[in-house]
Amino acid sequence: MGLLNRLLGRGLPDGFPGELVRGEELIATAAVESGGHLVVTTLGLWIPSGDGARRVGWHLVGKATWGDGVFTLTESEETGRAGPVAILADREPVRFRLPQPGKLPQQVRLRVDSSVRSRHRHEFPDGGAWFVQRKVPGRDGVELQVRPDPGTDPALVEAVAAEVAEKLAPRAE
């Protein structure tokens, strides 16, 4: 954290248990009513977790909403791969009551939206899936992710994901 941020009172909250990595910049913070803090950085959203805190990269924020003083986070987790394509599933939403949210909800929305390069919905006979190209914080390029609806045939989703990845792959000349 830079000296200027500390002088301006824009540092990490006292007692914050996480550790920012080199180059990770603090953007916004908000105290959670039940304890701990949400912390927005250039690499992700830090959330209270057990006795500590953990960072959710922007590319794994499936959904984030704000309303009635409650910030709701739906985190995605990688459940497999189809070649270079990450297969994702959403975890149960987690809710945080924020008495003084400040700019945190706005900054989360901005960073989640800016991580998405393209998205496409594909329907299957037994459901559907979102195919999303996202920027992964701290890495060059984008990652193709697929988030199938619950109940959608995973083998069919993986086959289509592999085809899409092949079409998107740069061709050697």
- Give 8's pLDDT tier (boundaries 50, 70, 90): very low
3-state helix, strand, coil in the chain (%, to 5): 20, 45, 35
- Which pLDDT score, from 0 to 100, does residue 103 have? 97
- Which pLDDT score, from 0 to 100, does residue 168 have? 76
Tell the CATH topology of 3-166: PH-domain like (2.30.29)
Q: What is the pLDDT of residues 19-38, one digit of tens each?
A: 999 999 999 999 999 999 99
pTM beyond 0.85, yes or no: yes
- Which pLDDT score, from 0 to 100, does residue 44 have? 97
Q: What is the pLDDT of residues 68-127, one digit of tens each?
A: 999 999 999 999 998 899 999 999 999 999 999 999 999 999 999 999 999 999 999 999
In the chain the beta strands, taken as DSSP E runs, fall at: 26-31, 37-41, 44-49, 52-57, 61-67, 70-82, 85-90, 94-97, 116-124, 127-135, 142-148
- Which pLDDT score, from 0 to 100, does residue 10 have? 62
Strand-pair partners of 71:
66, 96
Average pLDDT score, the chain:
90
- Which pLDDT score, from 0 to 100, does residue 172 have? 56
- Which pLDDT score, from 0 to 100, does residue 7 have? 41
- Which pLDDT score, from 0 to 100, does residue 39 have? 98
